[in-house]
Amino acid sequence: MLNGWLRLAAAGTPLRPTAAHVVSVYYEGAVIKRIEGTVVSFHPLFTADFNLICAGRDPGHIELAAIRNAGAVILPQGCPQPLYQMARENCRHVFPNYDARFRYPGKIGQIRLFRETDTPHPETEIFRNTSDFRTRYPDDGYPAFPVVFKFDWGGEGDTVFLLQTPADLKDLLQHAESCESSGQRGFLLQQYILSGNRSLRVAVIGERSISYWRGHAEEDRFHASVSKGAKVDLTSDPVLKQKAEDLVAGFCRRTQINLAGLDVIFAAQDSRRPPLLLEINYFFGRVGLGGSEAYYRILRKEIRRWLKRVGV
């Protein structure tokens, strides 16, 4: 588990390295050789000098000791916030950069981030709860239809709905009220963009980006996620793809996002209109990347490139 850290300078003799030895050495003030440049990995599929798994629990003193003495830390894609905060506060180099993920949580947080970075996106109203909605739309007032309703949580389109009538909205507001009773609150009403039943996914993995269309041939289909039956198209409309990739690249430079799937849409009736950033997915599917094995090969290569760039 502790490849390369084979000698404890305080003891002067080789020991079988274990987490317990690491903790006692750090906390008793001894020095482990080869600390500088050591990489600590919490990712189960990236092997480093020191490999730890921190799943289903908060990090503790073992993780803190390893992070404090690491040159760089590699975190899993599903990294919980306590582990990320510990890494960011105690190590200079951390991959991936999830600052935006935790500073701007949920779909509401993402809209705030788009606004603060002047990133083009569909017009959106944010509601903290159903009372907030009724304050802005009293006396059975409603926004213009059709409109897209998004709960603050969820992914793969499971909490996103295209509403055509006030009755549709009433039903979802009732559902939102029941969610609020269990502690889940917040939703968006977003401008509906006629996009030809497709969106472009731009997967950002380190310094590499891979883009592909996801869409339906049927006109009555709304969701463009593969999990909802959308098909992957790697080659159509290369000019539009490049525009979307340029939008995402600029956004990621401003936010330091380096591992996410970002969804971009175009207005189907006017290709001259600029692309709009729709959503950030920190957990994203891999079908358009060639499957999980292909994704992990890309990820490992990009992590190694990142380590070289930061000098670890």
CA distance 123 to 226: 25
DSSP 276: E
Radius of gyration of the chain (CA): 23
Please report the beta strands in the chain, taking only residues with DSSP state E, as ranges in sequence order: 39-41, 50-51, 72-74, 94-95, 124-127, 147-151, 160-163, 187-191, 198-205, 208-215, 231-233, 259-265, 276-281
DSSP 79: -
pLDDT at 53: 93
What ranges do the domains of the chain cover?
19-95, 126-190, 198-289
Q: Quote the tokens at residue 204.
A: 């950002």
- The per-residue pLDDT for range 151-203, each reduced to its tens digit, is 999 876 789 999 999 999 999 999 999 999 999 999 999 999 999 889 999 99
pLDDT at 224: 60
CA distance 191 to 202: 21
According to CATH, what is the number of the domain 126-190?
Answer: 3.30.1490
Domain 198-289 in CATH: superfamily?
ATP-grasp fold, B domain (3.30.470.20)
pLDDT at 268: 86
Q: In what order do the strands lie in the sheet with 160-163?
A: 124-127, 187-191, 147-151, 160-163
* Bridge partners (DSSP) listed for residue 202: 211, 262
**Phi, psi at residue 19, to the nearest 5°?**
-60, -35
**CATH topology agreement for domains 126-190 and 198-289:** no
3-state SS class at 126: strand
CA distance 59 to 170: 43
Report the b/e string of 45-79 with b at 16+ CB within 10 A.
ebebbbbbebeeeebeeebbbbbebbbbbbbbeeb
pLDDT tens digits for the chain (312 residues)? Answer: 344 332 332 333 232 344 433 443 343 343 444 455 699 999 999 999 999 999 899 999 999 999 999 999 999 999 999 999 999 999 999 999 999 999 999 999 999 999 999 999 999 999 999 999 999 999 878 899 999 999 999 876 789 999 999 999 999 999 999 999 999 999 999 999 999 889 999 999 999 999 999 987 666 666 666 766 788 999 999 999 999 999 999 999 999 999 999 999 999 887 778 999 999 999 998 999 999 999 999 999 999 999 999 999
pLDDT at 9: 28
CA of residue 205 relative to chain centroid, distance: 11
